[in-house]
Amino acid sequence: MKKRQATELISVNNVEFETVLIGNKKPQIIFLNGYRMNLTSWDQVYPNIAKDHGVFLYNRLGIGKSSKPAISQDADTVVKDMHVLFHKLGLQAPFIFVAHSMGGLFADLYTKTYKNDVAGVVFVDCPHPDEVIEQRKLKLPLALKILSGIFKVIDRVFGRFKNSEDECIETSIAQIKAAASFPDIPIAVVSGQKKMPFMPDKAYQLHQSYQQKLLSLSPKSKQYSCCNSCHFPQISEPDKVITAIAETTKALTK
C-alpha cells in the first residue's frame, strides 16, 4: 500500500489548517472537500493528478487536525480564509477547483468573488445553491428526521461541529446568490446516478434536475455521469473524476 502524503499545519487568521501541497506546476489543482469530509477522501484521485500538476488539499476548520471554528463558518468567511491561505502558500493562479458536495458552494462563491484566480471548476456531485433551499422544504421520513436530530444534539453537546458550515447554510446561500455572476470558464459536473439508501425519491429527482442547472453556470460546461456512484464518485469511480479534471485542464488551451 502506498504511503499517504504527510500533512502540514499552516496558520491563517489565528487558526491552523491541515494541508497537503505537492509541486507548483500550473495549472494548480485545488481540492475542496464535502461537509465533514477529510482531505483523505481524495486519496484515489490526487496522486494521479499530481503527476502533471501542482496539487493542494486541505481540511477546513473542524476537520482532521485543523482548528475548531471559533466563529460561524458561512460561505463568505470560508472563502476569505481560503483566499488568505492560498496566497500565503503562494499557489499560482489561475487554478482549478475540484470540489465535492458542499465544497462546490465555496468554489462557486470564490470563483464569483475572485474571478481572475480561477480558470475552471470540477463539481463532484455538488448541489446547486437553489437546490439546498428546495431540499430543505421536503419532508424527510420520520426515521431520518429523528436520526438527523439525534446527531445534531450530539454534535452540540460535544461541540464537535459548533459554528459549523451546516448551521449557517441559509446565510451562505444568500451570500452566493447575492454575488456577481459566474464567469465563462470551463466547468465539469460529475454526477452520481445511483440513489443513496433511504433517500426519498423526490429528493433524488430534485438533485438530478439541479445537476442540469449547474451546467448552466457556464456555456463551457460538460457533464460526466457516474452510473455506479451515489454521492461519492471520487471514491466509487475515481477514474471518471480524473478524466473530468484532465479534460477541464485541456479545455483551458482551446
Q: Is the pTM of this model over 0.75?
A: yes
Q: Residue 141 and residue 177: Cα distance in Å, rounded?
A: 29
pLDDT of residue 25: 87
Looking only at the bridges linking them, the beta strands covering 15-22 and 55-59 are antiparallel
pLDDT band at 146 (very low <50, low <70, confident <90, very high): very low
What kind of fold does domain 8-251 have according to CATH?
Rossmann fold (3.40.50)
Q: What is the percent of the chain with per-residue pLDDT over 90, rounded to a whole number?
A: 78
pLDDT tens for 55-85 read: 999 999 999 999 999 999 999 999 999 999 9
Longest dimension (CA), the chain: 53
**Where exactly are the structural domains of the chain?**
8-251
pLDDT of residue 148: 46
Evaluate the omega torsion of the peptide bond into residue 94 and state whether it is cis, within 30 degrees of 0.
Answer: yes
Q: Which of 42-46, 114-118, 130-134, 187-191 has the lowest mean pLDDT?
A: 130-134
Q: What is the DSSP string of 77-117?
A: HHHHHHHHHHHHTT--SSEEEEEETTHHHHHHHHHHHSGGG
Q: Residue 231 and residue 127: Cα distance in Å, rounded?
A: 11
C-alpha cell at 21: 501541497
Q: Is the confidence at residue 156, as pLDDT, over 80?
A: no
